[in-house]
Amino acid sequence: MSTPQIQSRLPQVGTTIFTTMSALAQKHGAVNLGQGFPDFDCDPALLDAVNAAMRAGHNQYPPMTGTPALREAVVAKIAALHGRSYDPVSEVTITAGATQGIFTALLAIVHPGDEVIVLEPCYDSYGPNIDLCGGVTVRVPLTPGSFRPDFDKIAAALSPRTRAIIINTPHNPSATVWSAAEMQRLADLLDGTDVLVVSDEVYEHMVFDGAPHQSVARFPTLAERSFIISSFGKTFHVTGWKVGYVVAPAPLMAEFRKVHQFNVFTVNTPMQLGLAAYLQNPRPYLDLPAFYQRKRDLFRAGLAGTPLRLLPSEGSYFQCVDYAGVPALVGMGDTAVCEWLTTEIGVAAIPMSTFYASGSTQTIIRFCFAKQDATLERALEKLRSL
pLDDT in tens, 159-174: 999 999 999 999 999 9
- Average pLDDT (112-129) is 96
Rounded mean pLDDT of the chain? 96
- Average pLDDT (30-55) is 96
Q: Which residues pair with 227 in a beta bridge?
A: 198
Long-range contacts, stretch 236-239, CB < 8 angstroms, 24+ apart: 236/42, 236/43, 236/46, 236/275, 236/278, 236/284, 236/285, 237/38, 237/40, 237/41, 237/42, 237/43, 237/370, 238/42, 238/46, 239/36, 239/37, 239/38
How much is the pLDDT for 359?
Answer: 79
- The four Cα atoms 306, 307, 312, 317 give a dihedral, to 10 degrees, of -50
Q: Is the pLDDT of residue 80 over 80?
A: yes
Contacts for 344 with CB less than 8 Å, ≥ 6 apart: none
User: Residue 182, Cα to own-chain centre: how many angstroms?
Assistant: 19
**What are the residue ranges spanned by the domains of the chain?**
17-42+286-383, 57-283
pLDDT in tens, 83-104: 999 999 999 999 999 999 999 9
| CA dist., res. 356 & res. 147, Å (int) | 13
pLDDT in tens, 205-256: 999 999 999 999 999 999 999 999 999 999 999 999 999 999 999 999 999 9
Q: Which residues pair with 117 in a beta bridge?
A: 138, 165
- Average pLDDT (256-279) is 97
Contact 283, 141 (CB under 8 A): no
CATH label, 17-42+286-383, candidates 3.90.1150.10, 3.90.1200.10, 3.90.190.20, 3.40.50.300: 3.90.1150.10
The CATH number that domain 57-283 falls under is 3.40.640.10
Question: Residue 24 is inside which H or E element, if any?
Answer: helix 17-28
**319, 321, 349, 345: which is closest to 335 by C-alpha?**
349
pLDDT band at 14 (very low <50, low <70, confident <90, very high): confident
By three-state DSSP, how is residue 93 classified?
Answer: strand
Residue 97, class by beta-carbon neighbours within 10 Å (0-12 exposed, 13-18 middle, 19+ buried)? buried
pLDDT in tens, 173-206: 999 999 999 999 999 999 999 999 999 999 999 9
CA distances from 210 to 13, 168, 311, 312 (A): 39, 19, 19, 15
Looking at residue 138, its amino acid is: V
| CA dist., res. 222 & res. 219, Å (int) | 5
Q: Is the pLDDT of residue 142 over 90?
A: yes
Q: Is the pLDDT of residue 2 over 90?
A: no
Q: Is the pLDDT of residue 155 over 90?
A: yes
Q: Which one is predicted more confidently, 61 or 16?
A: 61
| CA dist., res. 178 & res. 103, Å (int) | 23
The CB density around residue 297, as the number of other CB atoms within 10 Å, is: 13
pLDDT in tens, 329-354: 988 999 999 999 999 999 999 999 99
